[in-house]
A = this chain, B = another copy of it.
Amino acid sequence: MGRASKREEIAQAALRQFQAKGFNATGVNDITTAAGVPKGSFYNHFSSKEESALEALNRYAAGLRFDMLTTPGRPPLERLRAHFEYLGRDTLDNGFAGGCLAGNFGAEMADHNEQIRSAVQRGFGRWAEHIQGVLTEAREAGELAGALDVADTALFILSAWEGALIAARADKSAAPVEAFFRLVFGVILR
């Protein structure tokens, strides 16, 4: 493997390991073993486990597919539903394991690592803005009840999503995710 592709292998393995085990339970050794590279080579590409965790968060965020929210062609609320259905599939297909890396890092690390906390904060912020954008479009299209505050509602939907994934993993069932879809699309955004 060349230098660039080795970095890529390590970064991909780091994302998978952090998603599977969280920050504290993942060692640099786990990452290099999963990547099939010598342990020492990690530090040719990343200065620390934390740096690889920040890159994993960026890669995870890129996979959130915000383009599904912004690409026209479908009614706004249909796009919002498709976005969460797409994201839920990972956890549901994975035996109710994994969840959202941003939520998991937030729960585990927000109080202990300022760089990870602020990366999670920025990620949630961008995500909530995208949801708010769709809700604003929905309002303009007459799909939304007038009284709903779109900024509040976007924040709340994102929190509810993060909590539903954690509850689904604890419950090993889709019930919390199904409740999310029924309440968000059947009650709040009806």
Nearest CB of B to A165, in Å: 8
Q: Are B22 and A149 interface neighbours, CB within 8 A?
A: no
Name, among A20, A112, A160, A163, the residue most crowded by chain B CB atoms within 10 Å (CB to CB).
A163
Q: Are A164 and B163 interface neighbours, CB within 8 A?
A: yes
Within 8 A of B (CB), among A3-30: 20-22, 24-25
Secondary structure type dominating chain A contacts = helix
Q: Are A169 and B106 interface neighbours, CB within 8 A?
A: yes
Tell me how many residues of A have a C-beta within 8 Å of chain B. 50
**A interface residues, Cβ below 8 angstroms from B:** 20-22, 24-25, 97-99, 102-104, 106-108, 110-112, 117, 120-121, 124-125, 148-149, 152-153, 155-156, 158-164, 166-167, 169-172, 175-176, 178-180, 182-183, 187-188
